[in-house]
Amino acid sequence: MSELFGNTSGLPPLACKKLERIYRRRVPLDTIATADLIRSLCEASKESARQVGALVHRSGQVDYVVVGDATHLMLPDIGRLRVASGRFRGLRLIHTHLHGEALSNDDLVDLVRLRLDMVATLQLNPAGDPRAVSYAYNVPSQLPDPPYRVVGPVHPSRLDEDFGQLMSALEGEFARRARTHEVDSVEGRAFLIQVGDKRRKDQLARLDTSMRELRELARTAGVGVVDVITQVRDGVDPKYVMGRGKLDELIVRAIGLDVGLMIFDNNLTPTQASNIARQTDLKIIDRTQLILDIFAQRAQSRDGKLQVELAQLKYALPRLSQKDDSLSRLTGGIGGRGPGETKLEIGRRRARERVSNLEAQLKKLAEQRKQRRRRRHRSEVPVVAIVGYTNAGKSTLLNTLTNAGVLAEDKLFATLDPRSRRLRFPEEREVVITDTVGLIRDMPRDLFAAFRATFEEASDADLILHVVDASDEDRTQHIATTETMLSDLSLMHVPRILVFNKADLVTPGDAARLVLGQSNTLALCATDRESTRPLLALMAEVLAGRWEESALTPSYDEGSVSEDMVDGESMATLDELLAATGRRKSRAASI
């Protein structure tokens, strides 16, 4: 083999001959580099006035001869995907540095990223002779130690390391580490990354809040968070989001810590995600993708699964590689002859067709929900909708009020499918309570659009319970997010009760200050039935007029709620409901 790789343009014939002769050299397994190989590399580098390198296989054969410029060496594509855990690539890079410099950051990034056996630099003096050798190899490590070890500089005559034994020992150590390594979760290990823009003061003020939320999203998705990285820049890099130097640093750390996933708090453009993935060989996702993944994990009903699939397809469509329109869907005639649709275009067309199909199915399901809401309205039974930020305790409150038994977890988006249950008050008065999907800051637009029909469960509500986590220091922002959603759905006119949940996690004084001077506002603990009595009394007070109005109007099916008006059934008993009002004990039932 005599092919030269890299920057070969303008090479004089003598330099090309010297470079091609490097392929004739053989390096024993117990040697890092022979004197003949070192001399050949230095002569070729001196003749070409460029960095010159050789990728040597463990068999002793030179697989690639690479030419760079005066300061850099661009390696050929030797396979960008990392090799198996505990194994190296079987290639070591030996190359020259014209100005006597030691190992560069690029050398170390290539070593770790490509899982090379070793990277060695020949540090040349002004006469072009080897003055010293520095080399580095991968080692098992833990933060904050780097995943490599640097040796040297040493004189070329003192390169007495047994290369074969060193590689055997290192691969054995990596293999033992892989066998005993405890993966944090079934979904893998990840870095959480956020990049702030100094020009956006509003963004900088909530970096900590945003990262805490990203941590919770990762925990909910089942991802093991290895480290959190925040970088503040004068502006977000249009190509890599963060600086190239920072990205190279993270590549080295990620591979050393067996991290296979980078999750960005920033929403990435298709180009940014592609560029970072190509540079790192890691899986790259952003905040939107993470939320979509959580929804995909938790969707149970047909509605929910279709809504999630629709949102995922709309997110993925712009990220399909773009091709020249002239290569796709070619028709007959001049300039139109060809093989027909490309594979990429077929995939894109099928995705668009699937989007149309999903939208049609969701439209039918939305109409069914609309009919159920219409029947409830005809029955003159008031509807109460529970809304609020994710993980505020909405499902827990529904369970406490009605013994509904719906899933309630200390995770984000535990509820994706709305649940309606019946609650009977004294004097045969009853309401239908509906739990809705939790909200989150910067909810993906396509996801909100897909779940809009679900949120519209609250559109016919006679009363809205806005549940807020009283123990969360960002509760003000959570309230604002929910209020924005209610405004977008034109529900600001509906009577609301602001419920500060988890009052047991704050001091009594703090809980009192939250509700001080505010009407239709109270604090409670949704897991404590006793603490919900004031809420029931306030609900009865707000809905009193609605019940009186329905009593004067002939009701549908004698004023009862039939089973097809709600989406499940269960029974519950609430002791001494509204005891403070002096009314008789009540029985509560939920369907």
pLDDT 10s digits, 227-242: 898 988 888 888 888 8
Question: How do residues 240-269 score in pLDDT, each as one tens digit?
Answer: 888 888 888 888 888 777 788 899 988 888
Q: Which CATH class is domain 189-294?
A: alpha beta
Residue 343 is predicted with a pLDDT of 59
Question: How do residues 38-79 score in pLDDT, each as one tens digit?
Answer: 999 998 998 888 999 999 999 999 999 999 888 888 888 776
Question: How do residues 473-494 score in pLDDT, each as one tens digit?
Answer: 888 889 988 898 888 878 888 8
Residues of the chain with CATH 3.40.50.11060: 189-294
Residues of the chain with CATH 3.40.50.300: 372-590
**Cβ neighbours of residue 365 closer than 8 Å, sequence gap 6 or more:** 302, 303, 306, 453
**Cβ neighbours of residue 62 closer than 8 Å, sequence gap 6 or more:** 22, 23, 25, 26, 27, 37, 54, 55, 56
Q: What is the pTM of this model?
A: 0.68
* Most confident of the following: 333-337, 393-397, 548-552: 393-397
Longest dimension (CA), the chain: 105
Helix, coil or strand: residue 36: helix
Chain position carrying tokens 């008006």: 565
Strand partners, 67: 6, 52
Least confident of 145-154, 290-299, 417-426, 449-458: 449-458
**Cβ neighbours of residue 263 closer than 8 Å, sequence gap 6 or more:** 190, 191, 192, 193, 214, 218, 223, 285, 286, 287, 290
Strand partners, 153: none
Chain position carrying tokens 């690029």: 106
Q: What does the alpha-carbon distance between residue 306 and residue 289 come to, in Å, rounded to a whole number? A: 16
Residue 564 is predicted with a pLDDT of 39
pLDDT above 90 covers what percent of the chain?
Answer: 16
Burial-class residue 224 by CB neighbours within 10 Å (0-12, 13-18, 19+): middle
Residue 412 is predicted with a pLDDT of 67
Residue 178 is predicted with a pLDDT of 63
Within 139-282, strands assigned E span 148-154, 189-197, 224-233, 261-264
Residue 580 is predicted with a pLDDT of 35
pLDDT at 388 over 70: yes
Q: What does the alpha-carbon distance between residue 521 and residue 498 come to, in Å, rounded to a whole number? A: 5
**Average pLDDT rounded to a whole number, residues 285-310:** 81
Residue 586 is predicted with a pLDDT of 35
Q: How many CA atoms, within 13 angstroms, populate the side-chain half-sphere of residue 127?
A: 4
**Average pLDDT rounded to a whole number, residues 500-506:** 91
Question: How do residues 139-155 score in pLDDT, each as one tens digit?
Answer: 887 666 788 889 989 99
Q: What does the alpha-carbon distance between residue 64 and residue 55 come to, in Å, rounded to a whole number? A: 5
Confidence band of 405 (pLDDT split at 50, 70, 90): low
**Average pLDDT rounded to a whole number, residues 272-296:** 84
Question: Domain 372-590: which topology?
Answer: Rossmann fold (3.40.50)
Cα radius of gyration (the chain): 33
Residue 322 is predicted with a pLDDT of 42
Question: How do residues 535-587 score in pLDDT, each as one tens digit?
Answer: 999 998 888 877 776 654 443 333 333 333 344 433 333 333 333 333 333 33
Q: What does the alpha-carbon distance between residue 262 and residue 569 come to, in Å, rounded to a whole number? A: 43
What are the Cα distances from residue 482, in Å, to 304, 451, 467?
Answer: 21, 15, 10
* Most confident of the following: 388-392, 496-500, 557-561: 496-500
Least confident of 307-321, 412-426, 523-537: 412-426
DSSP strand pairing (130-138 vs 148-154): antiparallel
Least confident of 245-254, 312-321, 504-513, 556-565: 556-565
Q: Mean pLDDT of all residues in the chain?
A: 78
* Most confident of the following: 29-38, 417-426, 548-557: 29-38
Helix, coil or strand: residue 396: helix
Residue 552 is predicted with a pLDDT of 44
